[in-house]
Structure 1
Amino acid sequence: MRILEHPILGAPKKRRQVTFTYDGRELQGYEGEPIAVALKAAGVMVHRYTAKHHRPRGVFCAIGRCTDCVMVVNGKPNIRTCVTPLAEGMVIQTQDGVSVKAEEKGAV
């Protein structure tokens, strides 16, 4: 499920494979790729659920502008996974809603 060669960016550079945890499951991805890319390659499409109606959300804009892909990363909520690089040992969790701090900043 990975893009092997992008028509504009070309082929991705060879990267080191790393292990990370997603909702208690051990998965693998490539160091430096966006977390969302590693999750999609592992078949994960839901990154968070809306607070009010518990509706699933995943990657939408893929450029860090919306909050659909936010997740809890290493205990910190509201991390935009589409623009955050994957690193060895990261602990990633599905998020419920978006925190008040993000709403105050107008990020919702």
Structure 2
Amino acid sequence: MFRPMRDPGAPAAAPLRFTFDGAPMTARAGDTVAAALLANGVSVNRHTPVSGAPRGAYCMMGVCFECLVVIDGVGNRQGCLVPLEEGMRIETQRGPRQAEALSQEIGA
């Protein structure tokens, strides 16, 4: 469904290495986290807190919140809005976010 758009005359983008749930993966520089996961065949990146139903990237523009992942230990990150960086540790988001982590992030 999603395919990268490439300018035929442009040089190939440098590959970036990252992990998803501990599995090593690569993607192109300039990709978002959600695009990198899709390019690597990952269609489920979180589970709903109530039923545990699988969810994956849907709108790819930050509206639906289905692409939430844990990035470098910080949960509730919208993968479609975060540019992929070398060495990122991305994990499946499971369950609700912990209040302690939230209060640390906002400085409470």
Answer whether TM exceeds 0.5 for this pair. yes
Q: Matched residues, percent identical?
A: 35
* Cα deviation, residue 36, structure 1: 0.9
**TM superposition outliers: structure 1 runs of 4+ over 4 Å:** 9-13
Partner of 1:42: 40
> Which aligned pairs between 1:65-80 and structure 2 lie closer than 5 A?
65-80=63-78
For 2:38 and 2:60, how far apart are their aligned partners in 1? 12
Alignment gaps of 5+ in structure 2: 103-108
Cα deviation code 1:52-108 (max 9, x no counterpart): 110000112211122210000011101100121101000000001343779xxxxxx
CA RMSD in angstroms, aligned pairs only: 2.7
Counterpart of 2:80 in 1: which secondary structure?
Answer: coil
Judging changes above 3 Å, is the alpha-carbon distance between structure 1 residues 11 and 70 closer, same or farther for their aligned structure 2 residues? farther
Counterpart of 2:38 in 1: which secondary structure?
Answer: helix
Aligned length: 100
Alignment gaps of 5+ in structure 1: 103-108
For 2:63 and 2:48, how far apart are their aligned partners in 1? 17
For 1:48 and 1:13, how far apart are their aligned partners in 2? 34
Report the structure, 1 or 2, having the larger helix content: 2
